[in-house]
A and B are shown apart, each in its own frame.
Chain A
Amino acid sequence: MSSLANVMVLLFIVATAIPFYRLVKGPTVFDRLLSIGAIGGKAIVLILLIGLMFDRLSMFVDIALGYAILNFIGGIAMAEYFRLRKEEE
């Protein structure tokens, strides 16, 4: 069981680290926003897994929900902001 858990942790680290490449390199600002959203989605799963690990899921579930809502609202707000700024130019 523990070896399977190790593989899962490794997969998780790799899957979360790859979008950072796009975040740093991304040619346009929208690529960067996209990778922020992708990292946020993985962070939700990470928070829930931590909750399972510490047996405190009832607390971490609320944090995950708040994070999901912030991720959504923040992504849309930033997309609109950059669209309006590009139009002004």
Chain B
Amino acid sequence: MSVSDIIGSVLVFVGLLGMLIGSIGLVRLPDFFARTHAASKVDTVGVIVAVVGIAIISGLTLDALKVLLIGFFLLLTNPVAAHALGRAAWKSGLKPWRSDAQEAKSEEAGK
């Protein structure tokens, strides 16, 4: 059990926690756009941290470089995918959810 193993395991563990919170957000948040926040930020960071942990565990090899490249690829593509989904939902007329307080406020303004 070397030092790099321990650091890598801790990173993978933190990444797993991030993924877990992202998953909870996917179920718990009220509407599609809010869920996209959970999937595009918390989940992405979780996956990338876990991938970096795996690269550290595998040591200083060509494979570790490839694993890091996968992490970089995810960093570039995940916001783009989230944007594409959000745009599709917005263009097809999906309206964002609003809290009760916001609804009450806009009703007052309308009167």
Contact = CB atoms under 8 A, between A and B. Distances in A.
Interface of A: 1, 4, 8, 11-12, 14-16, 18-19, 21-22, 28, 30-31, 33-35, 37-38, 41-42, 44-45, 48-49, 52, 57-58, 61-62, 64-65, 68-69, 71-72, 75-76, 79-80, 82-83, 86-87
A12 B44 CA distance: 15
Nearest to B92: A86
A56 to B, nearest CB: 10
Interface in B49-88: 50-51, 54, 57-58, 62-63, 66-67, 69-70, 73-74, 77-78, 80-81, 84-85, 87-88
Contacts of B26: 18-19, 22, 34-35, 38
Contact of B20 (A15, A49, A64): A15
B102 to A, nearest CB: 20
Nearest to A46: B50
B84 A86 contact: no
Contacts of B54: 45, 48-49, 52
Nearest first, the 6 closest Cβ-Cβ pairs linking A and B are A86-B92, A83-B88, A18-B23, A79-B88, A15-B20, A72-B77
Interface residues of B, number: 47
Given A42-B19, A42-B47, 11 more contacts: A11-B13, A21-B27, A30-B94, A31-B35, A45-B51, A68-B73, A72-B81, A75-B84, A79-B81, A82-B92, A86-B93
A75 B85 contact: yes
Contacts of A35: 26, 39
